[in-house]
Amino acid sequence: MASLLALESKIISVVVVAHGREKFLPEAINSIMNQSCDAQGIEIVIVSDFYPGFIDKLQTEIPIIHVVTDKITLMEKILLGMHRSNGKYVAFLEDDDTFKPDKIKKLLSTLEEDGDIVYVHNSQKVMDSSSRILNHNFRTNTEERINFQPDLTSKREMKNILGKSPDFNLSSICVRRDIFLKTLDRMPVIVDAVDTLFFHIALSSNKKIVLLPDPLTNYRFHESQSNNLGSFSNFTGNRYDYTERYVNSLQAILKNLDGGLSKNILNGIISDTFLNLSLLSKTSDRKKMLSFIKGFIRNSKYFSARYFLLKSCLSVIYLFSPNLAKMTYYWNRSKERERLIGS
């Protein structure tokens, strides 16, 4: 296959989305400017709700398009950036994350292999507010490259793929622009779960998807990003609001996407999220929890046996002692954070 750079004037547009803060944005932009590949075929599209003064002082061969908008949601900003971009493919970078120096080079070599690839996801390293790389990750990164086409993938293989968090972190996702805009332009705006939306658009397309084991993104973890900090009461209150928005977004995705596989997987995630809502609620409703458990069991075909067992046990504990189940859930999340930050 001929080189992509020989066929397209702009191959990859990096859409950088900034939300009301400039603190980390220079570091994000510098991580694109310092890529190990040639600047030819790359452009940067910054979408923000403010004008960062440092942009005028940048000296780079990479074209920069800056869009200032009053759009509020992440999805609206992303759509605006995708429409303003010229690349065949779009990689995303949130303002507080960064790219590793070889990220775009690796993306280009992967995309050159097959013109039917519509979605590439890479693994991540986690860093703190000071850009210090932490020892652990939120999710299970894939240890080897995975190439798959949804309609040719068995249930067993798909369970393994989903266990690798192929929809985690927008800054780890690159998509085929034209394929995704066809779906995004007809969808209502969703508030959360945008990275999940992109993965499920790829699933519904039945085109080729690639998961890379390379940690090509530094994902920033800091207090302003996290909903699982503080006391039990703060945790349940903040996390409940987020989880409620998240499940509403998932239901909107389910309603507007085609494809049986995607719908089956989303039904499972939605059922699991309703269990979380019960575990986070300030009130206890055993009858409602029982209906959520039935839904979780009915839609559990793509969960691992271990996850299904742990979540089922926690839900059954709730039926006998809601407060014990809630405290157990909080304790597990607290331990997860301690493991991540090494405290």
Kindly report the number of other CB atoms within 10 A of residue 153's CB atom. Answer: 16
* Strand pairing category for 12-18 and 42-48: parallel
How far apart, in whole angstroms, are the C-alpha atoms of residue 116 and residue 58? 35
CA distance readout (Å), 145 to 49, 121, 149, 215: 37, 10, 14, 12
Q: What does the pLDDT read at residue 340?
A: 57
CA distance readout (Å), 337 to 97, 152, 293, 323: 19, 37, 26, 21
Q: What does the pLDDT read at residue 294?
A: 95
Q: What is the identity of the amino acid at 68?
A: V
* Contact of 241 with 282, CB cutoff 8 Å: no
How far apart, in whole angstroms, are the C-alpha atoms of residue 321 and residue 328? 11
* Contact of 68 with 1, CB cutoff 8 Å: no
Q: What does the pLDDT read at residue 337?
A: 67
Q: Is 159 exposed, middle or buried (0-12, 13-18, 19+ CB in 10 A)?
A: middle
How far apart, in whole angstroms, are the C-alpha atoms of residue 330 and residue 324? 10
CA distance readout (Å), 230 to 35, 333, 336, 343: 38, 11, 14, 14
The first and second tokens of residue 151, run together, are 């309609």
DSSP label of 127: E
How far apart, in whole angstroms, are the C-alpha atoms of residue 122 and residue 117? 14
Mean pLDDT by 10 residues, the chain (343 residues): 50 93 91 88 92 77 90 93 96 96 96 95 91 72 90 93 94 97 92 94 95 94 54 70 93 89 94 94 92 94 92 94 91 71 51
* Contact of 228 with 203, CB cutoff 8 Å: no
Q: What does the pLDDT read at residue 228?
A: 45
- Please choose, from the candidates 279, 86, 278, the residue with its C-alpha nearest in 3D space to the C-alpha of residue 177: 86
